[in-house]
Amino acid sequence: MAERKRKKRDPQQRRAEILAAAFACFSERGFAATRMEDVAARAGIAKGTVYLHFPDKEALFTELVSGTVSPILGQIDGLAANEAIRPRFAVSMFYTLFKREVLETDRRHLLRLILAEGPMFPAVTEFYHREIISKGLGVLRILLKRAAERGELRNPALAEMPQIIMSPALLSIIWATLFERYEHLNTQKLFDTFLDTLFVPEASAP
């Protein structure tokens, strides 16, 4: 009986172990090729235990993605709520957080999988758009509109295109996946240069 008690896991701990196993399987095999039994085997538990926590692998994947990106959006949302913070600084923090928390970690594999396999799994991409992309665009619209009103954008029309802010982040994921072994991309320089194309120099801003 004592041995059985030692083997029991707190539900949150077990859930975290399943997510860690799923992350490893998705990174190695891809989303389509990963099966729930693969996740169970990696976690060292029965397949039924995985289903007690997650109904399917889409639920596993969406929770992993949400846990990766939502904290970044939360911090940027906080910056956007403070009108004393210049929009350029807030956008630069988005790139800094993305670089540190995603691009320079194994979490980049999750975004790579969305780009590569998302069209085959519309439920996953719909979740990602609804919970991550749409919310992120909402925050960026606030920042760009504020920058346009203050005369800080090189082209005020950019305020209507918040998607453009995400383009260097997506490029960095694609480059790291396909071309980094052939030619290094300095992502920090990419982000800094892109900021210069969006915003007027701070000394020239009103």
Provide the angle, in degrees to the nearest 10, between the axes of the packed helices 108-117 and 57-81: 120
Banded model confidence at residue 3, pLDDT cuts 50, 70, 90: very low
- Give the model's pLDDT for residue 7: 54
For residue 151, count other CB atoms closer than 10 A to its CB.
11
Q: What are the distances in angstroms from CA 170 to CA 72, 130, 177?
A: 15, 18, 11
Domain ranges of the chain: 1-55, 69-206
Q: pLDDT category, 69, cuts 50, 70, 90?
A: confident
Instruction: Give the model's pLDDT for residue 204.
Output: 59
pLDDT digits (tens, 9 = 90+) for 23-64: 999 989 999 999 999 999 999 999 999 999 999 999 999 888
Q: Provide the token pair at 94.
A: 């988005």
Tokens of 7: 């083997």
Written as six digits, the tokens of 63 are: 């929770």
Determine what percent of the chain is predicted with pLDDT higher than 70: 94
Fold (topology level) of 1-55: Arc Repressor Mutant, subunit A (1.10.10)
The tens digit of pLDDT for each residue in 138-182 reads 999 999 999 999 999 999 999 999 999 999 999 999 999 899 999
Q: Of 29-43, 65-79, 83-97, which gets the smallest average pLDDT?
A: 65-79
H-state helical runs in 30-162: 36-43, 47-53, 57-81, 87-98, 108-117, 122-128, 134-149
* Model pTM score: 0.84
